[in-house]
Structure 1
């Protein structure tokens, strides 16, 4: 017989081993539970644009890449099929490629638990092989000038209607081209726009109004232009990141409030506080609206590296919120800024394309047709100008976009 203290020591050792085994088992279970919980907290696209007063369970969360598993109503399915048909391009000839198949990998699902900042990871460099690089040669097979076969000049004559022509909402792209430049001023073919060349005219137009600008950096340019051009508009320092926002300018003399906020993910800004990631649909739901409320929206650039289904889901939620806003406040003015062409260098052209941006533009126009919104045709304004293509058009083009925008806010009285 062992002494009693020896038996006690053995018993304690057995208990310690059992405790360790239980701890390891529970820790494994905790890790498994935490993985599921974290997966349920990933950033969402479809449900992220909608407000909800009740807690969302893991089963209802949607990952960025889970759009394929979302259930659509028959009406939404029919709309999506129609949109796909509108942007369908013919297949390229089979002998076009270097016998190598082209494909894309689906991005990995990201875990967003305890996230403080949102940051972009950048793009992989050096993707082209020497043989593939032959397809991207300036003045050989890209950026090749098209020389005129006859006269290289055109005669521009004034349009045959007066400024009193009606300005209807939801003007579709049925007419091409929609306009032209004359002495650096945009002249639409379907209507007249006012040219706000004096700061006093802009201040008078915006007097007593709250202007919300939602979207990417191409509509942030509107905020920057107005704040720089109108001396009475003074930016209030919110301590926001330089290129991200949110931003706010105030004109106390004319009672004008101008605000900018970027749209929700996906975004390609360098670093954004997670607390500042707001979806346009949610922001619209929080706006009362009225005759002194002006809203301008653009959503396209940051979606140019994502499947079109993601873009459709986002616009569908924004459209729903716009309809609800106009139902409760019909006098609210809503303006949609279209996409624009951009410079596509050797690297940028690997992950971006004006063709794809044009498809997104078609999607946007079709989804917002028939709704009481206005369009600023930034696409043709950037395409028709002699300045080089640029993701962020120069001030002379932005100025014409602002003129078109303010012409909806303050149409000609004559």
Structure 2
């Protein structure tokens, strides 16, 4: 494969669910690990309708002019049923929108009961949307619909994702003896990376993953002296109107549509799934619901690990490798704090990107967390500590005492879909090989979660990556912990790092798969 073959655009694929609209555009690539059929299927699952023309500020969807209504609000409902909601999008002039593409989030909730559940939104491509919300607890409930991004804002995000991968850049730190030099680096060899350099670039290829990394040549040091990696900065090129459009929906602004006057009253109580928590189970919508701040899974018979003793018993004789970003690091930190007998080893590594290790010699438990490798936005850290997930998985023997957990999405929201897809299929190849040689190994994927709201990491961008991840790993017998639903319907404020109560529920669900017989 040529040095950048999976990054070279061969042709453009246009797909849309809406006739007569400008279609979502993805740049297709030549990648020997992704067949044309798989790429087409992947893009089909991610297609998103965009506005039929360039936007203006008055034509953009205005949350204050939108409305929603509950179908049959006066009906009595029972647990196990559904309530349907219709959304009408309007622009700043209160004119009905005639095309779709707005990114809404919906939930049913009861603050007194600390109960909530997620609802999927169906786009009818004509300015109207519907939501079907499952009724899962008795008592009153309210519907909340949130406009995260207008279709016009999504148009900006889509173009930025595919056309400007250097909106986030990194620094490579070159050292030789006492001499140190710094250069700009990134995962694609673009014109913005090359800049005015006449001797660009240092090229680094991992022989196993075939991932590439480029840095501008330092002033005098050779390329092989690259020693450290760090975050560089943010440099998205946006017009003033685009900036205004994206700022319109940041967390500090009002983004909730006016609440319906008619609460939904539900009778009887639902119970969670009775299935054992085993790999390969499908995540429905909804995948569960909160009640008294406890997530009740509709996927499998999840347990509540309310004491350190219960958690420790579940972890007994387990070797757990966690790889990913800081949202998975929260799991490691939670377990470390919850189980006093887990002792943190001081490996003298980066406080952000690790690796970290905690052990309990009495229960023969070992937990490792490490960052998923470049690109990653982090403080200055040794390149040698940033391992690719696939390479780590390939080095595992696996077995009934081995658990592999990974998440990978938050640091890829600024890159074209093709680059992310390549990273995923390389990981899939390694996971498939691990499961062939050791089928008793438990492999768990933590999905993306909500919390981002800008051009560098919008929830829309995260959701697109999450859909890609689900599609690419669909055929493997792995576990997917659907934290997208768990974070999008919780009452806590927007935060890429969810609060303790959400992390506890995520880890409880994870542990239910680690020890399903308890």
Structure 2 length-normalised TM: 0.62
Residue aligning to 2:509: 404
Structure 2 distance, partners of 1:336, 1:126, is 34
Partner SS, residue 204 of structure 1: helix
Partner SS, residue 122 of structure 1: strand
Structure 2 distance, partners of 1:377, 1:106, is 27
Are 2:41 and 1:82 equivalent residues in the alignment?
yes
Residue aligning to 1:384: 489
Residue aligning to 2:71: none
* Structure with more of its chain in helix, by fraction: 1
Are 2:63 and 1:72 equivalent residues in the alignment?
no
Q: 1:271 to 1:139 in 2, by over 3 A?
A: closer
Structure 1 distance, partners of 2:455, 2:273, is 46
Once the 2 structures are TM-superposed, how far is the Cα of residue 125 of structure 1 from its aligned partner?
A: 7.5
Residue aligning to 2:352: 243
Once the 2 structures are TM-superposed, how far is the Cα of residue 412 of structure 1 from its aligned partner?
A: 3.7
Once the 2 structures are TM-superposed, how far is the Cα of residue 67 of structure 1 from its aligned partner?
A: 7.2
Q: 1:321 to 1:390 in 2, by over 3 A?
A: same
Are 2:281 and 1:322 equivalent residues in the alignment?
no
1:256 to 350, 354, 365: 365
- 1:279-302 per-residue CA deviation (whole Å, 9 max, x = no partner) reads 111101111100000111101100
Partner SS, residue 121 of structure 1: strand
Further displaced range: 357-366 or 183-192:
183-192
Q: 1:263 to 1:154 in 2, by over 3 A?
A: farther
When the two structures are aligned, how many residues end up with a matched partner?
349
* Aligned ranges 1:273-284 → 2 under 5 Å: 273-284=382-393
Residue aligning to 2:228: 117
Structure 2 distance, partners of 1:376, 1:131, is 34
* Residues 277, 512 of structure 2: 8 Å contact kept: no
Once the 2 structures are TM-superposed, how far is the Cα of residue 152 of structure 1 from its aligned partner?
A: 3.4
Are 2:263 and 1:152 equivalent residues in the alignment?
yes
- 1:218-252 per-residue CA deviation (whole Å, 9 max, x = no partner) reads 10111111011110001000001111100000111
- 1:21-69 per-residue CA deviation (whole Å, 9 max, x = no partner) reads xxxxxxxxxxxxxxxxxxxxxxxxxxxxxxxxxxxxxx75348855769
* Structure with more of its chain in strand, by fraction: 2
Structure 2 distance, partners of 1:130, 1:327, is 52
Unaligned runs of 5+ in 2: 11-27, 60-151, 167-189, 194-200, 203-214, 216-222
- 1:99-136 per-residue CA deviation (whole Å, 9 max, x = no partner) reads 99965445434534221111221113795526852663
What is the alpha-carbon root mean square deviation over aligned residues?
A: 2.9
Once the 2 structures are TM-superposed, how far is the Cα of residue 362 of structure 1 from its aligned partner?
A: 0.8
2:240 to 112, 129, 146: 129
Structure 1 distance, partners of 2:324, 2:360, is 22
* Residues 135, 141 of structure 1: 8 Å contact kept: no
- 1:148-204 per-residue CA deviation (whole Å, 9 max, x = no partner) reads 3243355374335774x244533334x322211001100122322101010001111
* Residues 139, 145 of structure 1: 8 Å contact kept: no
Unaligned runs of 5+ in 1: 1-58
* Aligned ranges 1:10-409 → 2 under 5 Å: 60-62=2-4, 65-66=7-8, 71-73=30-32, 76-94=35-53, 96-97=55-56, 104-105=163-164, 107=166, 108=190, 109=193, 111=202, 112=215, 113=223, 114-124=225-235, 127-129=238-240, 132-133=243-244, 136-137=247-248, 143-152=254-263, 154-155=265-266, 157-159=268-270, 163=274, 165-173=275-283, 175-344=284-453, 349-409=454-514
Q: 1:367 to 1:154 in 2, by over 3 A?
A: farther
Q: 1:147 to 1:92 in 2, by over 3 A?
A: same
Residue aligning to 2:130: none
Structure 1 length-normalised TM: 0.77
